[in-house]
Amino acid sequence: MMKIGITCYPTVGGSGVIATELGMLLSEQGNEIHFITSSLPFRLNQVNPSIFYHEVELNHYPVFQYPPFDLAMANKMADVIDREKLDILHVHYAMPHAICAILARDIAKHDVKIVTTLHGTDITVLGIDQSFKKMIIHGIKQSDAVTAVSHSLVNQTNDMLGIERDIDVVYNFVNEKEYHKKDLISIKMEYGIAEHEKVLIHVSNFRKVKRIEDVIQTFQKVKEKVDAKLLLVGDGPEYSNANQLVDSLDLGDDVLFLGKQKNISDLLSISDLKLLMSEKESFGLVLLEAMACEVPCIGTNAGGIPEVIEHNETGYIVDVGDTNRAAEYAVKLLQNEKLLKQFSKNAYQRARGCFHSELIVNQYTDIYRRVLAEK
């Protein structure tokens, strides 16, 4: 049994989902889990006597121009390390969580090992603000182990930071109890989608990197050959641009903006194809969620996406921006029931085989044991 602290961004997002699901699965294995976050992680939905939640509180002192959130986080971590005698503190993102963890380790009396998981956002931060480079390098170098969610992210991290350190690749996973195909044909009718119509789906936080316009343009081309509807799930900065594009292409009746949704697996269960046309994506957890629900995917050759989609087996890979090719592949698949069935089966098997939660959680526990064995 290990005592494990976990810090992540608790709001909606792949890294928060992974961190929370990991904590819940680790607790099922008999470990004691301590979430140290600014608010209750949104997926933490079970009552469990071996899961604890420590909220980082921030007082607003009139003397400070900016509230010192990262210091409050480090202080809370140090408190929890000492009080709960944590063996491991597993933080998601070097910036700022690994930095907070290192400071907490310096402050705490109890010996703790720090494991940092990179999700790609540190590299995004660096792309915007190079002044954080030394800080991110420090966070990565001082961690006892570092993991990344794809080989692509390892290479990108080493290239951009100019460091060579061992980074373990631990892929993302999904909770199979939640992500599986359900018999929900009635939902299709409730959304006004005819039984014969194919359903394409895109799920994201509508940031610019997700290139929603390419998803819509691909759909427009598919629509010329196949009766279909597009579900756009999520919300974010590009929402109104996407709305305008749909209107200007006269696709208003065929594109359904569903906003943020909780039961993604229900929507995936009525979907035939997932589109992820991002220009940056360290993994693409939404692809794995789709595959687990037997939905093949078309994605770009950006970042870790080709490590998730097996081209011509579980879906197709296209160049960033190549909506013609994406539409060709989509039509090929959607017009051939036999091929579509085969791809769905392949997608499910790949999700179960290469990214099974048990496999991935064991990879993390092996890393915890390895760092605990080091002096």
- Name the 3-class secondary structure at 75: helix
Does the footprint of ligand GMT cover residue 7 (CB under 6 A)? Answer: no
Piece of 30-38, 67-75, 116-124, 181-189 that binds ligand GMT (CB under 6 A): 116-124
Please give the residue whose beta carbon sits closest to ligand GMT in the complex: 14
Does the footprint of ligand GMT cover residue 354 (CB under 6 A)? Answer: no
As measured in angstroms, the least distance from the Cβ of 186 to ligand GMT is 31
Cβ pair 8, 41 in contact under 8 A: yes
As measured in angstroms, the least distance from the Cβ of 288 to ligand GMT is 8
Does the footprint of ligand GMT cover residue 207 (CB under 6 A)? Answer: yes
Spatial neighbors of 83 by CB under 8 A, at least 6 apart, are none
Does the footprint of ligand GMT cover residue 285 (CB under 6 A)? Answer: yes
Site string for ligand GMT, 149-178 (x = CB under 6 A): x----------------------x------
Instruction: Using CA atoms of 58, 81, 361, 147 in order, give the dihedral in degrees to the nearest 10.
Output: 80
Judged by CB under 6 A, how many residues of this single chain contact ligand GMT? 18
Q: How far apart are CA 76 and CA 295, in angstroms?
A: 42
Residues 135-154 that bind ligand GMT (CB under 6 A): 149
Cβ pair 55, 75 in contact under 8 A: no
Piece of 115-123, 180-188, 223-231, 330-338 that binds ligand GMT (CB under 6 A): 115-123
Does the footprint of ligand GMT cover residue 205 (CB under 6 A)? Answer: yes
Find the binder of ligand GMT among 113, 188, 280, 350 (CB under 6 A).
280
Piece of 46-54, 243-251, 281-289, 333-341 that binds ligand GMT (CB under 6 A): 281-289
Cβ pair 185, 194 in contact under 8 A: no
As measured in angstroms, the least distance from the Cβ of 39 to ligand GMT is 15
Measured in Å, how far apart are the chain's first and last C-alpha atoms? 19
As measured in angstroms, the least distance from the Cβ of 75 to ligand GMT is 24
Q: How far apart are CA 150 and CA 135, in angstroms?
A: 22
Cβ pair 283, 308 in contact under 8 A: yes
Spatial neighbors of 285 by CB under 8 A, at least 6 apart, are 14, 17, 18, 172, 174
Q: CA angle 361-367-369, nearest 5°? A: 105
Which residue, 205 or 220, is less far from ligand GMT as judged by CB?
Answer: 205
For 213, other C-beta atoms within 10 Å of its C-beta total 18
Does the footprint of ligand GMT cover residue 38 (CB under 6 A)? Answer: no
Spatial neighbors of 190 by CB under 8 A, at least 6 apart, are none
Find the binder of ligand GMT among 50, 121, 158, 301 (CB under 6 A).
121
Find the binder of ligand GMT among 5, 284, 296, 315 (CB under 6 A).
284
Site string for ligand GMT, 52-91 (x = CB under 6 A): ----------------------------------------
Does the footprint of ligand GMT cover residue 315 (CB under 6 A)? Answer: no
Does the footprint of ligand GMT cover residue 217 (CB under 6 A)? Answer: no
As measured in angstroms, the least distance from the Cβ of 18 to ligand GMT is 6
**Upper half-sphere CA count for residue 371 (Cβ side, 13 Å):** 25
Which residue, 327 or 360, is less far from ligand GMT as judged by CB?
Answer: 360
Q: How far apart are CA 157 and CA 123, in angstroms?
A: 7
Distance of CA 89 to the CA centre of its chain: 20
Find the binder of ligand GMT among 14, 23, 139, 234 (CB under 6 A).
14
Cα–Cα distances (Å) from 172 to 6, 15, 19, 289, 308, in that order, read 16, 9, 10, 10, 10
Find the binder of ligand GMT among 135, 209, 320, 371 (CB under 6 A).
209
Q: How far apart are CA 348 and CA 353, in angstroms?
A: 8
Does the footprint of ligand GMT cover residue 306 (CB under 6 A)? Answer: no
- Contact set with ligand GMT (CB under 6 A): 13-15, 18, 119-121, 149, 172, 205, 207, 209, 280-285
